Structure formats: C-alpha cells, structure tokens
Amino acid sequence: MAREAVVSAAFLTAISPAQTYYSRFYIQETLLVFFLAAFIAAGWRYLQTRSAWWAAAAGLAAGLMYATKETSVVLFGALAGAAAADRLLRPASAARRPWPARATVGQAAAFLAAAFVPAWLLFTSFLKNPRGLADSVLAFGTYFDRAGQAGAHAQPWYYYIKTLLYSRFGHGPLWSEAFIVALAVAGSIFAFAHEPSKDGHPRLVRFLFFFTLIAAAAYSAIPYKTPWNLLPFHLGLVLLAGNGAGALWRAGKFQVVKVGILALMAPGLLNLASQDYRANFKDYANPTNPYVYAQTSLDYLKLVRAVEGLAAVHPEGRNMLVMVVAPPDETWPLPWSLRKFGRVGYWTDIAAAGDLKRAALVISAAGFAEAAARDLGPGWQSSFFGLRPEVVLDLFVRQDLWDAYLRSSRSSS
C-alpha cells in the first residue's frame, strides 16, 4: 500500500470509536486484530520475497492468532477465501506478471514451526498442562454449539452493519462510522480500476477487499454476536478506507486541489473524532453507546469506594475479613478491585461459605441476598449496587462498622 494509504489508515484507526474503545481494556479481539494485521503484513512480504524469515514471521502471527481466540479459525477461512477469490478474479494483465519462485519445503517448515511453538507453549501453560493443545482443538465442539445456540447473545444478521452505519438508542446521540465505510468503498474501487504503480499495489488492496467481505459475511451469519467481534473485519474496512483516502489525496495534481480534498473530508474526520472522544471519555459506560455491552456499571465503583472507606475505619484495615458469595460470572472484577485486601474469600453458595457473621462485611449476589440476610440476622446494614446490566450485588456491613463509616464520612465532608 502507498505511504499515504498507510498514514491515512493509521489516522482513521486512531479516531475510530470501535477500534479505540475496545483498546481501553483487555479483551481478546484487540490482540487478535494486532496479530491479524501482523499476519497479513508478514504474509504479503513473504509473497514478494519468498524469504524464510518472513514465512516464520507470518507463522508466528498465525500461531498467536490461534492462541488468542477461537474465532481465529473464521479469519483463517476468510484469508484463504480471499486468496482464492483474488486468484480467480485477478485481471489478465496482473496474472501475466512474474512473481518470485514458489515456496520451498524449508519455507513451509519455517511457517509451520513458528505457528506451532507459540500455540503449543501458551495452550499448555508453558508445558504445565500437556493436554492443553489437544483440548484447544476438542473445544471447538463447544464453540460451534455456542455459535448456533446464541441465547442472550443472539442478534440478527445485520447487527454489525447497523452498529457501524447507524446506531441510536432512544433520545441518545447518533453513532456511525459510515465515513470509514464510504472511504473503504472508494478504496476498493480504486484498487479494481487501476494497475500497480510506484504509488501502491492494488493486488494487496483487492485481497483486503475480498477478506473484509468474506469475514463480515461469516461473522454476520453466526447467530452469536457481540459488538467487539466486528473488530477483525473492521480492520479490513480501515485499511481499505486508508487506501481510499490516499488515492483521493494522490488524485489532486495541484496543492490547491489537495487542500480542497482535505476540506471535503474534514467534516467526516471531525465527526469520527468527536464520537471517539464521546465513546472513550463521556459515554464509556452509557448503554446508548453501541459498543457498551455488559460493561461494568459506574455504580460498581461506589461499592469499591464503600469497601475502601469501611476498611479505613476498621481496626484491622485491609486485613478485615471480606466474604464474597456469588456465582463466578457475578464476581468479576471484585478480585481485581480487592487485590490489596489481605483476607478476601469467595464462595459460590451460602452453605459453602459457612458462618457469615465472622466477616466484617459480606458481598452477595442478589439471588443470595435473602438467604444471606437470614443467616446474618439483625445488626447488619444492607445496600445494593449495580455490577453490570441486570446484575446486582448486595453489601452487608456490621452495624457498628457502618456507623463508624458514616461518622468518618460526615467528618471528612
């Protein structure tokens, strides 16, 4: 791709709400997109040079993709489909151009070894779990079952298209990355309408077009959908959009024309940048943000502050006993938020927890709140805090500790 296309794609990535929002916290798709980009770049360099080093680099990226997320198999299929489509639909003039010699056994071995080693080490927890790599393959039965029976995550086929082009909830603001999609369409047209030149190589962009189309169709066909799953094919859109922006810039033969092209693109760029700011700094937990999905509620931070305040007035400080009784999916991120506390226990039901009264405070899932209140009896203060949409935690505090906390709060305010 031409330099202008690469710079444009980097800039569009930096102001894309989808790409930046999920980079704010750990989620596998962010790593998956990184390794996917590395795989495409290394693979392209290998096709140009037939170097064993580039083959190994592509293999390393492929192995890390596989170790990162099970949906990597969808992307491998899309990459293979794109390569086949590019070969079948390549213009005759492009087909006649010579390419470096075909892959050798050594290059293929370098690719396979570089792909195998990281996947093997990570799935076996660095050889502590020898069955890990085999289990990663056997687990695909579960993945396929989950994809077909999406349950609460079932969405219509157009879910990703709607999320990118037009999202609005109630009276909330409009969210749209239609500008990136429009530039991607322009970049694809330029790729199919022009032959290679010193400014770029349309064959790579054509490949990206087919990959993006196939990957988007595959993800859309799977009933199980979450908004972050659009990131891999969104990468293709951003790269195509970068090619479109770069081609438009190169189309201006005179400086005044280039300034005019930039002025025409400015409203779209400013709109994306404003959405990017809103997504990351204002509406990062607001349900009207289409990228917010089962996010931790801001109310949860009040719970954490309350626990810290209670520890400040407890004689043992952060060594006071905290008992958490909740299913695993209603616990996170408590282990992280309470990591500085010395005595925190986690149980998945009331009976297993034993005597709750020995704790300074108890945090229970809403489903266990009635049983916890019954076991604790009188002399405990109860407060509810939202963890995620439709997930609530109940904080039980011994009355004397609660009174001390209130006195401390009033004296400091």
Statement to judge: residues 21 and 79 lie in one domain: yes
pTM score = 0.85
pLDDT of the residue at 99: 57
Q: What is the pLDDT of residue 201?
A: 65
Residues 320 and 256 both lie in one domain: no
Preceding peptide of 333 cis, ω within 30°: yes
Q: Please tell me the predicted confidence (pLDDT) of residue 259.
A: 84
pLDDT at 130 over 70: yes
pLDDT per residue as tens digits for the range 388-405? 888 999 999 999 999 999
The confidence score (pLDDT) of residue 199 equals 46
Give the tokens for residue 341.
């506390």
**pLDDT-derived band at 110, boundaries 50, 70, 90:** very high
- Which residue would you say has higher pLDDT here, 141 or 185? 185
Per the domain annotation, does 293 fall within a domain?
A: no
Q: Check whether residue 231 and residue 340 sit in a common domain.
A: no
Residue 93 in this model has a pLDDT that exceeds 60 = no
Please indicate, yes or no, if residue 103 is contained in any of the structural domains: yes
**Average per-residue pLDDT for the chain:** 90
Tell me what percent of the residues of the chain surpass a pLDDT of 70.
Answer: 94
Same domain, 229 and 302: no
Residue 102 covered by a domain: yes
DSSP string, 309-375: HHHHHSTTGGGS-EEEES-GGGTTTHHHHTTT-S-EEEESSHHHH--GGGSSEEEEEGGGHHHHHHH
CA distance linking residue 167 with residue 129, whole number of Å: 44
What local confidence, expressed as pLDDT, does residue 151 receive? 75
Co-location of 251 and 319 in the same domain: no
Q: Which range has the worst mean pLDDT, 78-82, 212-216, 253-257, 303-307? A: 253-257
pLDDT digits (tens, 9 = 90+) for 194-229: 655 444 568 899 999 999 999 999 999 999 999 999
Largest CA distance in the chain: 85
pLDDT at 97 over 70: no
pLDDT tops 90 at residue 167:
yes
Same-domain check for residues 188 and 328: no
Taking only the tens place, the pLDDT of each residue in 229-288 is 999 999 999 999 999 998 888 877 778 787 888 888 999 999 999 999 999 999 998 889
Residue 58 lies in a domain: yes
Pairing verdict, β 380-388 and 361-365:
unpaired
Domain end: 282, 314, 338, which one? 282
Q: Give the separation between CA 60 and CA 134, rounded to whole angstroms.
A: 19
Residue-number span of the structural domain to which 100 is assigned: 3-282
Same domain, 98 and 246: yes
At residue 91, the pLDDT reads 61
Confidence (pLDDT) at 313 = 94
Residue 75's pLDDT is what? Answer: 97
Domain final residue pick, 282, 317, 343? 282
What CATH number is associated with residue 340? 3.40.190
Q: Is the pLDDT of residue 101 over 70?
A: no
More confident residue, 59 or 148: 59
| Same domain flag for 125 and 274 | yes
Instruction: Select from 222, 255, 282 the last residue of a domain.
Output: 282
Residue 202 lies in a domain: yes
Q: What is the total count of domains within the chain?
A: 2
